[in-house]
Amino acid sequence: MSDIGIVGGGFLGLTLAWRLRAEGHEVTVIEAAAEPGGLAAPAELGGFTWDRFYHVILLSDSNLRGLLEELGLADRLRYGTTRTGFYTDGILYSLSTSLEFLRFPPLTLVDKGRLAATILHASRIADGRPLESVPVTEWLTRWSGTRTFERIWLPLLKSKLGENYRLASASFIWAIIARMYAARRSGLKQEKFGYVEGGYAVVLQRFRERLAAAGVRVATGRAVQRVEPAPEGGVAVTLDGGGALRFDDAILTVPCGRVATLCPGLTADERARLTGVTYQGIVCASVLLSQPLAPYYVTNITESWVPFTAVIEMTALVDRAAFGGNALVYLPRYLTQEDPFWQRSDAEIRELFLDALARMYPAFRREQVLAFNVSRVREVLAVSTLDYSARHLPPVATSLPGIHVVNSAQIANGTLNLNETIGLANQQARALAPRLRRAAPEAALPR
Ligand SMILES: Cc1cc2nc3c(=O)[nH]c(=O)nc-3n(C[C@H](O)[C@H](O)[C@H](O)COP(=O)(O)OP(=O)(O)OC[C@H]3O[C@@H](n4cnc5c(N)ncnc54)[C@H](O)[C@@H]3O)c2cc1C
């Protein structure tokens, strides 16, 4: 049995802890924030608690649904069919059915045919790896034509990647389409979006209870400062503000740049590979409104003057009763690391975003705003840059004995979502077994 320290208490760290404990290891999770959950952690808004960032569950999210089942939460899953909006040329269109797509004025019939063919083609590609060597801009222009690329794909790419779209490979867009089509591929006729009643706060609460009952320690409010081989053997984990812990093995689930900072003993090559991963950040407002904006869960935006990159109306899916009859809307803006928008204050963002809502939605009034929060995360997503798997994907093993990396940058050819995150944790808990310091005895806990 190994004594394992896991750095980072997001879903990746928690799921790894759950799996490794089930194999009989001693496990401690060390989380910098006051509560675990990372990107899926809850936040309070106007007296209601929901996810800090918007989350939906797809019927095809088998790893995530499996975990919810283990946690005894499957009966709290709720699904609904949602509609999609498209804001372009100053007009908000519904783009939720094939008929609406056929009528969609900004594109000609030929453009639409090419767009549909692009999506169909991507949905039929089983392995996205060969697309890693093709720039996404080149691939989309080839399949959809210049006009559709410029009118539809380019604004959407910019909305997801900012200026990093220039670096991305075609596997980025393939992974998004593949995720949306996974439900259909698995034989389900219609995509539905789901959520857990009460949001991820409920999942995290249950997860913590189960982890504690299984004997996993989750130390919160303790940022790790350094991880290095201990002179007496094993791994020393130094905490911010003093104190050190010793483990047989440590697993870092934090972003690549942070791994490089936390582990001073890594080789120059290892550091170069880790710091070479390009991360996308996000500034996201969550807004509680007394009235809904529109009937769409997601509204894609192609207008460059709009300061956010989409409108996500959570209460187009989640029952408004969960928010006292009010509406919960997220306004995300994805950013490169260099973007000057990081410097904007919460007050400036509020003004800018609410002005834009007023221009987009004629019925919107500022008096409808009951609460407005801003969340910022610098390292959300490792961008699928060209030849990502070969050049950047960080290996699990490091040159430092007992120190391993399992983080979301290892999700190549996939999109960042909890299903992939949990899948990665499941897979790596199995793969790591022979590499952990001491072989585990027979499984100590029932699964
Ligand atoms: C805007 C947005 C929308 C999303 N929408 C969806 C969706 O619809 N569906 C879906 O399935 N997924 C969605 N996701 C993705 C999902 O939230 C992530 O896949 C998942 O939460 C990633 O978990 P993680 O553990 O890998 O990373 P994180 O959640 O980032 O966890 C890393 C943890 O490490 C901690 N940490 C960092 N440094 C230190 C340190 N030095 N010491 C100790 N701890 C440290 C951090 O505090 C954090 O808690 C969305 C994410 C975002 C941002």
301 lines ligand 1 (CB under 6 A): no
CA angle, 377 then 218 then 35, to 5° = 40
Residue 374, classed as helix, strand or coil, is strand
CA of 20 to the centre of ligand 1 (A): 20
CA of 421 to the centre of ligand 1 (A): 9
With cut-offs at 50, 70 and 90, classify the pLDDT of residue 187: low
CA of 360 to the centre of ligand 1 (A): 31
* Lowest-confidence pick of 104-118, 260-274, 302-316, 332-346: 104-118
Task: Provide the 8-state DSSP code for 298.
Answer: E
Question: To which residue do tokens 């050819």 refer?
Answer: 413
**Burial of residue 363, with CB atoms counted within 10 A of its CB: 0-12 exposed, 13-18 middle, 19 or more buried:** exposed
Residue closest to 335 by CA, chosen among 161, 167, 173: 161
**Does the pLDDT value for residue 188 go beyond 60?**
no
Per-residue H/E/C for 350-362: HHHHHHHHHHHCC
7 lines ligand 1 (CB under 6 A): yes
56 lines ligand 1 (CB under 6 A): yes
227 lines ligand 1 (CB under 6 A): no
Q: Across residues 112-132, what is the average pLDDT? A: 90
Residue nearest to atom 34 of ligand 1 (CA): 8
Question: To which residue do tokens 């801003």 refer?
Answer: 374
42 lines ligand 1 (CB under 6 A): no
What pLDDT, on a 0 to 100 scale, did the predictor assign at position 189? 54
CA of 381 to the centre of ligand 1 (A): 9
**Does the pLDDT value for residue 266 go beyond 60?**
yes
Q: Which of 61, 161, 254 to mutate to test the pocket of ligand 1 (most atoms within 8 A of CB)?
A: 254
33 lines ligand 1 (CB under 6 A): yes
Q: Is 72 left (phi over 0), alpha (psi -120 to 50) or beta?
A: left
For residue range 194-210, list pLDDT tens digits in order.
999 999 999 999 999 99
284 lines ligand 1 (CB under 6 A): yes
**Does the pLDDT value for residue 191 go beyond 80?**
no
CA of 9 to the centre of ligand 1 (A): 9
Q: Across residues 386-396, what is the average pLDDT? A: 95
380 lines ligand 1 (CB under 6 A): yes
What pLDDT, on a 0 to 100 scale, did the predictor assign at position 367? 98
Q: What is the rounded (10 degree) CA torsion for 98, 104, 110, 114?
A: -60
The yes or no reply on domain 279-382 and CATH 2.60.40.10 is no
Residue nearest to atom 19 of ligand 1 (CA): 417
**DSSP sequence for 7-31:** E--SHHHHHHHHHHHHTT-EEEEE-
Residue closest to 382 by CA, chosen among 257, 272, 268: 257
CA of 202 to the centre of ligand 1 (A): 16
60 lines ligand 1 (CB under 6 A): no
The yes or no reply on domain 3-57+197-277+385-435 and CATH 1.10.260.40 is no
In single-letter form, the type of residue at position 354 comes to L
381 lines ligand 1 (CB under 6 A): no
Q: Across residues 39-52, what is the average pLDDT? A: 98
What are the sequence ranges of the domains in the chain?
A: 3-57+197-277+385-435, 83-185, 279-382
Residue nearest to atom 38 of ligand 1 (CA): 254
**Does the pLDDT value for residue 211 go beyond 60?**
yes
Sheet with 26-30: list strands edge to edge.
217-219, 26-30, 3-7, 249-252, 403-405
Residue nearest to atom 5 of ligand 1 (CA): 55
With cut-offs at 50, 70 and 90, classify the pLDDT of residue 151: confident
What pLDDT, on a 0 to 100 scale, did the predictor assign at position 35? 97
**Does the pLDDT value for residue 441 go beyond 90?**
no
Percentage of the chain beyond pLDDT 70 is: 96
What pLDDT, on a 0 to 100 scale, did the predictor assign at position 409? 97
142-146 own/partner pairs: CB under 8 Å, 24+ apart? 143/114, 143/117, 143/118, 144/111, 144/114, 144/115, 144/117, 144/118, 145/110, 145/111, 145/114
245 lines ligand 1 (CB under 6 A): no
- Cα(287)–Cα(229) distance, rounded to whole angstroms? 46
For residue range 160-175, list pLDDT tens digits in order.
888 899 999 999 999 9
In single-letter form, the type of residue at position 283 comes to V
405 lines ligand 1 (CB under 6 A): no
Q: Which of 7-21, 84-98, 411-425, 427-441 has the highest mean pLDDT?
A: 7-21
- Cα(44)–Cα(51) distance, rounded to whole angstroms? 8
Residue 292, classed as helix, strand or coil, is coil
Q: Across residues 405-423, what is the average pLDDT? A: 93
For residue range 253-263, list pLDDT tens digits in order.
999 999 999 99
With cut-offs at 50, 70 and 90, classify the pLDDT of residue 440: very low
**Does the pLDDT value for residue 446 go beyond 90?**
no
Q: Which of 416, 419, 420 to mutate to test the pocket of ligand 1 (most atoms within 8 A of CB)?
A: 416
Q: Which atom belonging to ligand 1 lies closest to the Cα atom of 11?
A: 25
- Dig out the tokens for 447 from the structure: 């699964």
Q: Which atom belonging to ligand 1 lies closest to the Cα atom of 380?
A: 53
CA of 361 to the centre of ligand 1 (A): 31
The yes or no reply on domain 83-185 and CATH 1.25.40 is no
**Does the pLDDT value for residue 397 go beyond 90?**
yes
30 lines ligand 1 (CB under 6 A): yes
Judge whether 248 and 437 are in contact, CB under 8 Å: yes
CA 318 to chain centre: 19
32 lines ligand 1 (CB under 6 A): yes
With cut-offs at 50, 70 and 90, classify the pLDDT of residue 436: confident
CA of 41 to the centre of ligand 1 (A): 8
The length of the chain in residues reads 447
Which run of H or E residues covers position 73? none
Q: Across residues 8-27, what is the average pLDDT? A: 97
CA distances from 316 to 80, 180, 313 (A): 9, 18, 6
Go through 423-438 and write b for each residue having 16 or more CB atoms within 10 A of its CB, e for each that does not. bbbbebbeebeeebbe
CA of 380 to the centre of ligand 1 (A): 7
- Cα(103)–Cα(334) distance, rounded to whole angstroms? 30
- Cα(367)–Cα(140) distance, rounded to whole angstroms? 42
- Cα(261)–Cα(370) distance, rounded to whole angstroms? 40
Residue nearest to atom 51 of ligand 1 (CA): 39
